[in-house]
């Protein structure tokens, strides 16, 4: 783990500690920065791009939080355990886990390469499962787990079959884990963004397709990462009576 600060504040000062997977860019970065603005110490996870993760960490600190870098394959149980170990050593415990790490590969079902399907499943489903397994065992009372689903699970857009299937699995995990943590005072929810202006979403889409997606919302715009981060921050902090839910954060797309 690499820290951009010299201070390792203990849990006794009541600072909430969050792990954000996939925090080096897009929605993950916006979430990490928003949690920093809420005064949290944030574990900024990255898989391959350390420079982008360092940029995120600097933004977290500029917003008012503390930031430490953690790295590893979210789908690898030992790597996930190491991330939790590092943050517990640095800050004394973990209160919030946000599973933003994910990939999107699009093709009609009949044409999708099964290797691509396996890649989607490993990151989006197994990765969420493995990190949530550590969270369920180690997160402190009063904590929160926030998973990432997608509005495409109900929009049923062509070419999104495999991606939507992975997010449907995340929905099921979320609802069941919330019940399995009965008595622990830990909430488990998922946010399901609609069309959001990130590199992951915009990559490879022609301008006409993007314009069509923009007009799906009555607000006639794409979501911004900060729109999603605001909802995540609510679930990660004050929203103690929202539990076992999938929240569609999509500007009214139906």
- What is the secondary structure of 31-99 as a DSSP string? HHHHHHHTT-EEEEEESS-HHHHHHHHHHHHHHT-EEEEEE--TT-HHHHHHHHHHHHHHHS---EEEE
Give the residue numbers marked as catalytic. 163
CATH superfamily to which 2-6+15-196+224-248 belongs? NAD(P)-binding Rossmann-like Domain (3.40.50.720)
pLDDT at 6 over 60: no
Q: How far is CA 252 from CA 38, 59, 214, 216, 220, in A?
A: 27, 30, 11, 8, 10
Lowest mean pLDDT among 14-18, 151-155, 227-231, 249-253: 14-18
Residue 99 is encoded by which pair of tokens? Answer: 């599973």
Residue 147 is encoded by which pair of tokens? Answer: 């998973």
Lowest mean pLDDT among 13-17, 110-114, 163-167: 13-17
How confident is the model over 188-244, as pLDDT tens digits? 999 999 989 887 777 777 888 888 888 889 999 999 999 999 999 999 999 999 999
Cα(200)–Cα(60) distance, integer angstroms = 22
Q: What is the pLDDT of residue 4?
A: 42
How confident is the model over 56-111, as pLDDT tens digits? 999 999 999 999 999 999 999 999 999 999 999 999 999 999 999 999 999 999 99
Cα(31)–Cα(231) distance, integer angstroms = 9
What is the pLDDT confidence band of residue 11, given thresholds at 50, 70 and 90?
very low
> What is this structure's pTM?
0.92
What is the pLDDT confidence band of residue 9, given thresholds at 50, 70 and 90?
very low
Cα(47)–Cα(114) distance, integer angstroms = 23
Tokens 């609609």 found at: 194
Answer yes or no: are the C-beta atoms of 86 and 70 closer than 8 Å. yes
How much of the chain exceeds pLDDT 70, in percent? 94
Consecutive H or E run containing 132: helix 127-138
Average pLDDT over residues 38-54: 96
Q: What is the pLDDT of residue 14?
A: 65
Q: How far is CA 122 from CA 147, 192, 216, in A?
A: 15, 19, 30
Cα(127)–Cα(78) distance, integer angstroms = 12
Average pLDDT over residues 15-26: 95
């Amino acid at each position: 783990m690499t820290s951009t600060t010299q201070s390792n504040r203990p849990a006794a000062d009541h600072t909430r500690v969050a792990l954000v997977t996939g925090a080096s860019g897009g929605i993950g970065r916006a979430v990490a920065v928003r949690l920093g603005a809420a005064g949290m110490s944030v574990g900024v996870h990255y898989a391959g791009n350390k420079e982008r993760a360092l940029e995120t960490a600097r933004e977290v600190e500029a917003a008012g939080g503390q930031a430490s870098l953690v790295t590893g394959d979210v789908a690898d149980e030992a790597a996930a355990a190491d991330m939790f170990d590092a943050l517990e050593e640095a800050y004394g415990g973990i209160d919030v886990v946000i599973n933003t790490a994910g990939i999107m590969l699009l093709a009609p079902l009949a044409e999708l390469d099964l290797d691509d399907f396996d890649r989607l499943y490993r990151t989006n489903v197994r990765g969420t499962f493995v990190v949530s397994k550590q969270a369920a065992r180690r997160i402190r009372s009063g904590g929160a787990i926030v998973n990432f689903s997608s509005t495409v699970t109900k929009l049923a857009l062509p070419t999104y079959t495999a991606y939507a299937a992975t997010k449907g699995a995340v929905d099921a995990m979320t609802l069941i884990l919330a019940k399995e943590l009965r008595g622990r005072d830990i909430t488990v929810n998922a946010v399901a963004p609609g069309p959001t202006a990130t590199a992951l979403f915009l990559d490879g889409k022609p301008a006409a397709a993007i314009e069509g997606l923009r007009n799906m919302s009555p607000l006639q715009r794409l979501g911004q990462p900060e729109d999603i981060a605001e909802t995540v921050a609510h679930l990660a902090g004050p929203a103690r009576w929202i539990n076992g839910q999938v929240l569609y954060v999509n500007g009214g797309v139906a």
